[in-house]
Amino acid sequence: MSENKFSVKKHFFSSLFDQNPILVQLLGTCPTLAVSTTVVNGIGMGLSATAVLVLSNLLISLLRKFIPKQVRIAAYIVIISGFVTAVELLIKAFLPSLDKSLGLFIPLIVVNCIILARAEAFASKNGPVVSMIDGLFMGVGFTFALGILGLIREVLGSGSVLGYTIPGFKPILFFALPAGAFLTLGCLIAAVNYILALSKNKKGGSK
Amino acid sequence: MSLGAIIGMLISSILIENYVFSRFLGICPFLGLSEKPSTAFGMGCAVTFVMTLSTAITWALYHFVLIPTGLEYLKTIAFILVIASLVQLIEMFLKKSVPALYAALGIYLPLITTNCAILGAAILCIQNEYNFIESVTFSFGSAVGWTMAIIIFAGVRARIVFAETPKCFKGTPIALVTACLIAMAFAGFQGVKLPF
């Protein structure tokens, strides 16, 4: 039991940092760049993807013995798009403002590589509970990266945090534009590479 | 719909509303497959072909099947299934009848199913309430714009390999910074007002 707990903790940190879906594995870059203009949008997108990820991982893991190998990708896509449609309808009904700002990118969760990648790499080989935890952690990693990116771009691009304007700060429009999204993500990934290389060197040194 | 309007729509979807640099669609293959200009061109052709065809089919499906039966909310599932099976069909057809084209596009075809630009184009056409000709024009123009973006990007990237970049910027980060600079150039098109 204690061993199991330890691996859960390890899994959590690895999905946040050294296996982070956006910053290290580079999956799901399209929604990342498009919706990270503000923190709220980024986190909203992250949470919707997390919900789909957890549910689809659960169902795929439960059905893993019944889905024939040859048609598994098609089956996964149908399962994922079913959940995405449900999430889309829920957001439309209860959070219409979020629906407006995320727009096209909610139905596009279907083709978000993170979800299909976790279904193929993890849920199709593991039990339902572990798969759900994996989906949750990967989703948290995704949300975490989106939140940070959204925070940087919101502060620099529109001079506000969570919609509240920072007094005395002149926003730099560049960061709210598409070009700013590419630059911010590039610098963020470079920073993560730098930190990971540093921590690797430290570990190598202590050995 | 006049010819001028069609040309205007083509120009706007290729340059002004470029898929990569202003709508953020199809970024994954854009970053992944742009190391060599020749692969970029192959992928671009495959995307153009599938995107134009799939938008035509999904438009017909939406207007002649989903609306009459009141199942509009199933459009995401229906469209992704159409795209996945279309890609499979095209692959089988090309393998049998046009082996030369199959050899050229072969490896890129399966990757197209998860290219968000294809599903994005199909959904955008429905959201913007385009008619059939507008939908086909829009998706063709967008695909050409995407192809152009990926070829330009591949050309720049081929030279960056030889540049001395800081260690932590090697690979994707410097590619993203490059994309930022190209996106700034494309932002210049935003000011263009078409006379149509």
**pLDDT tens sequence across A113-142:** 788 888 888 888 888 888 898 889 989 989
Q: How far apart are CA A183 and CA A125, in angstroms?
A: 37
Q: How far apart are CA A105 and CA A101, in angstroms?
A: 9
- B65-110 tens-digit pLDDT: 888 888 888 888 899 888 888 888 888 888 888 787 777 666 677 7
Chain A partners of B81 at a C-beta cutoff of 8 Å? 74, 77-78
Chain B partners of A113 at a C-beta cutoff of 8 Å? 28, 114
**Domain limits at B44?**
3-191
CB-nearest to A34 from B24, B73, B123 is: B24
Q: Which residues of B73-88 are buried (b: 16+ CB within 10 A; e: fewer)?
A: ebbbbbbbbbbbebbe
Nearby residues of B8 by Cβ (< 8 Å), 6 or more positions away: B194, B196
Q: Do the Cβ atoms of A140 and A30 come closer than 8 Å? A: no
Report domain extents, chain A. Answer: 2-206
Q: CA B2 from chain center: how many Å?
A: 25
More confident residue, B105 or A22: A22
Q: Which amino acid is at B25?
A: L
In this complex, is the C-beta atom of B111 within 8 Å of any C-beta atom belonging to chain A?
no
> Number of folded domains in chain B?
1
Q: Which residues pair with A165 in a beta bridge?
A: A160
To test the contact with chain B by mutation, choose from A23, A27, A29, A71 the residue with the greatest count of B C-beta atoms within 10 A, namely A29
CB-nearest to A186 from B24, B119, B180 is: B180
Q: Do the Cβ atoms of A71 and B66 come closer than 8 Å? A: no
Which pLDDT belongs to residue A58?
Answer: 92
Give the closest residue to B11 by CA, choosing from B189, B149, B130, B152: B189
Q: How far apart are CA A115 and CA A110, in angstroms?
A: 8
Backbone φ and ψ for B67, nearest 5 degrees, come out as -70, -50
In this complex, is the C-beta atom of A75 within 8 Å of any C-beta atom belonging to chain B?
no
Q: How confident is the model at residue A56 (pLDDT cuts 50, 70, 90)?
A: very high
Tell me what the pLDDT averaged over chain A comes to. Answer: 83
Q: Do B176 and A189 touch (CB under 8 A)?
A: yes
Which pLDDT belongs to residue A204?
Answer: 57
Which pLDDT belongs to residue A2?
Answer: 39
- B112-129 tens-digit pLDDT: 777 788 888 898 888 888
Residue B196 lies in a domain: no
Residues present in chain A in total:
207
Is the pLDDT at A203 greater than 80? The verdict is no
Q: Do B116 and A111 touch (CB under 8 A)?
A: yes
